[in-house]
Amino acid sequence: MDERVKRLVPLAPVETEIRVVNSRFIASLSPANSVEEAREFVAETKKRFPDATHHVPAFVIGHGQSIITHCTDDGEPSGTAGRPALAVLQGSGLGNVVVVVTRYFGGTKLGTGGLVKAYGESVKAVLEHVQLADLVPTTTIMFSLPYSLYELGLRAVEACNGIVLQDEFAVDVTLTVQFQDSTLEEFKARLTNLTSGQVDAIVIEENPNTPFPVAGFG
């Protein structure tokens, strides 16, 4: 049984919008593998909504005991925007994630409690649409199969949760496939059985932190 603790991250950017008493709150969320990437996303989001009233950022980089967090209120009353946004983000269990809540003021003040709720609800709303990934060690391999074994090879890949990154059709079919390290040896054994030991896989890349899709929040 795999006892490894999952390191959850967002698989791709996502954006949602809610309205609170005529104010628009647009939550833009993205993966970020470093503080620099998080800050770049914040800057890009500000450029996309240059006429907005506020751009409230929050990010969590890393996992477990090794994390960096950041938030600001960006002109909202102290403690009413960045902190509630960050609190919801941290409560999600995600790491390597950045969110920017962009507000277009609707003409009616929300008050301290209203702001805290609005920014928190904005982040909750965008998290509902996040597709989760788990950071896992992976190995990408390349191997060639005769056409007669192509379909059986794909079934073996699927059985071991591999992801086909590329297939090239020439004299034989050459496949480039990414596997979690936990299933790689099982696939190699299947490949040996399938080809009677006539095909060897070549290691193309090893990555200790590859996002692999898992079930989402929604």
- The pLDDT tens digits of the residues spanning 40-70 come to 999 999 999 999 999 999 999 999 888 999 9
Q: What is the mean pLDDT of residues 208-217?
A: 76
A 10 A CB-CB count for 38 gives 25
pLDDT at residue 132, as a whole number: 93
Confidence of residue 213 (pLDDT cuts 50, 70, 90): confident
Residue 180: φ, ψ to 5°: -65, 145
Per-residue pLDDT at 215 exceeds 60: no
pTM flag (> 0.85): no
Per-residue pLDDT at 216 exceeds 70: no
What are the residues whose beta carbons fall under 8 Å from the beta carbon of 147, sequence distance 6 or more? 172, 173
Q: Which residue is it, tokens 């941290």?
A: 90
- Domains of the chain in sequence order: 8-130 (3.30.230.30), 135-213 (3.30.70.240)
- 111-127 and 82-91 are packed helices; what angle lies between their axes, rounded to 10 degrees? 30
Q: State how far the Cα of 57 lies from the Cα of 127, in Å rounded to an integer.
A: 15
Q: State how far the Cα of 51 lies from the Cα of 190, in Å rounded to an integer.
A: 58
- The pLDDT tens digits of the residues spanning 150-208 come to 999 999 999 999 999 999 999 999 999 999 999 999 999 999 999 999 999 999 999 99
Q: Left (φ > 0), alpha (ψ -120 to 50) or beta: where does 150 sit?
A: alpha
pLDDT at residue 3, as a whole number: 55
